[in-house]
Amino acid sequence: AQRGPERRPVLKIILLGDSGVGKTSLMRQFVSGKFESRYKATIGADFFTHEEIIDGRPVNLQIWDTAGQERFQSLGSAFYRGADACMIVFDITSNESFSHITTWLQEFTLQAGQKDMVLIGNKADVQERRQVYNRGIQQWCAEQGGDMQYFETSAKQNTHVGAAFRAVATAAYRAK
């Protein structure tokens, strides 16, 4: 377990999913106005530190986003190292992005071990171009067993973005 100043817990949460699904937009929407610091890491990933109160205690969330390398190559072990949880993101207007979530989940489990995760269907504001439907989503969640949480978000309209980040953070915090 990492410890910050004042022994405040630090949770590393990583964003996974195909290029273009809205990972960076979700992170920016979540931290905008509240973010503390931004680092440009040499490994080509960005992380933001964001304070949340979880179960009545202040916790620093370290949220990692890729610099776009998911398009070209695997993300590398540094991105996954020490991750407490992940958000696997697809785009509800892209069947292709949904078809890859199992691969992302397997990669996360392989690199980070059995950890908490939530599934995010982003771009919920674009229902007219929807390709991924609730039945398929619920079926996939059930196939994972246990209690995979699903959130349908719009980074554009700020719908359920905070709820999704708080859910994954709470799960990771309680598991620690």
Residues of the shown chain interacting with Mg ion in the complex, contacts defined by CB under 5 A = 23-24
Which tokens is 64 given? 């990692």
Cα four-point dihedral sign 117, 15, 63, 111: positive
What minimum distance in Å lies between the beta carbon of 173 and Mg ion?
25
Which does residue 123 touch among Mg ion, ligand GDP, none (CB within 5 to 8 A, set by kind)? ligand GDP
Nearer to ligand GDP, 107 or 125 (CB): 125
* Binding piece for ligand GDP, criterion CB under 6 A, among 14-22, 38-46, 75-83, 138-146: 14-22
CA dihedral 61, 67, 71, 76 (to 10 degrees): -70
Mark 20-59 with x for binding to ligand GDP (rule: CB under 6 A) and - for no binding: xxxxxx----------------------------------
Residues in region 89-148 near ligand GDP by CB under 6 A? 122-123, 125-126
- The phi and psi torsions of 32 (rounded to 5 degrees) equal -60, 130
Residue identified by tokens 């079926």 is 139
Which of 2, 131 has the CB closer to ligand GDP? 131
Of 9, 17, 147, whose CA–CA distance to 84 is shortest? 9
Cα 131 to Cα 110: distance, rounded to the nearest angstrom? 29
Residue 108: CB minimum distance to Mg ion, A: 17
Choose, by CB under 6 A, the member of 2, 3, 8, 19 that binds ligand GDP: 19
Site residues (CB under 6 A) for ligand GDP, limited to 147-166: 154-156
Q: How far is the CB of 8 from ligand GDP (least distance, A)?
A: 28
Which string of DSSP letters, residue by residue, matches 103-122? HHHHHHHHHH-S-EEEEEEE
Closest residue to ligand GDP in the complex (CB): 22
Within its chain, how far is the Cα of 99 from the centroid?
17
Least distance from Mg ion to the Cβ atom of residue 66, Å: 6
Joined together, the tokens standing for residue 26 give 């979700």
Q: What 8-state DSSP symbol labels residue 131? A: -
Q: Which residues bind ligand GDP (CB under 6 A)?
A: 19-25, 122-123, 125-126, 154-156
